[in-house]
Homo-oligomer: A and B are copies of this chain.
Amino acid sequence: MTTQEVAAKLVEMCSQGKFQEAVAALYSDDIVSMEAGAPPGQSRESKGIAAIKAKGEWWGANHEVHSSAVEGPLVAGSHFAVTFKMDITFKPQSKRFQMEEIAVYKVKGGKIVYEEFFYAMEPGN
């Protein structure tokens, strides 16, 4: 698949809430995932499909998604970008909040090999 095709498929699957299915279908075994930030002592970077699947499963188990929207993609060469906007509750704290982020992906050999997320780690703008 081309970058455009991978991007279209990711947007389609995530728009349907099929986040874990998208990882299984579109991600390389050698995926590297970079968060905007990490708790003290932990890394922003996760490597390998097993770590990314585990992160996704933790996320799915700990968040209730009230609504979500995906915008994009913007495609440029081997990379594409989308936005995720979600109204979610972090279940362990019963804390509801709205999250908006930009995600950038790199495609190689028809698979997503890199993803990075951008969102503000502090209030205010």
Mark each residue of chain A from 99 to 125: 1 if its CB lies under 8 Å from any CB of chain B, else 0: 011101011110000000011100011
Assembled-state Cα–Cα distance A3/B85 (Å): 15
User: B118, A106: Cβ atoms under 8 Å?
Assistant: yes
- If the complex has contacts A84-B76, A119-B77, are A104 and B102 also in contact, measured as CB distance less than 8 A? yes
Given known pairs A72-B74, A76-B119, the reply for A108 and B81 (CB within 8 Å) is no
Instruction: Determine whether the beta carbon of B81 is less than 8 Å from that of A100.
Output: no
Most B C-beta atoms less than 10 A away, residue of A81, A82, A119: A81
Q: How far is the CA of A108 from the CA of B80 in the complex (A)?
A: 24
- Tell me the minimal C-beta distance from A33 to chain B in angstroms: 15
Given contacts A74-B102, A102-B104, 8 further A-B contacts (CB under 8 A): A2-B125, A76-B83, A76-B100, A77-B120, A78-B119, A79-B118, A79-B120, A104-B104
**Partner-B contacts on A (CB < 8 A):** 2-3, 71-72, 74-85, 100-102, 104, 106-109, 118-120, 124-125
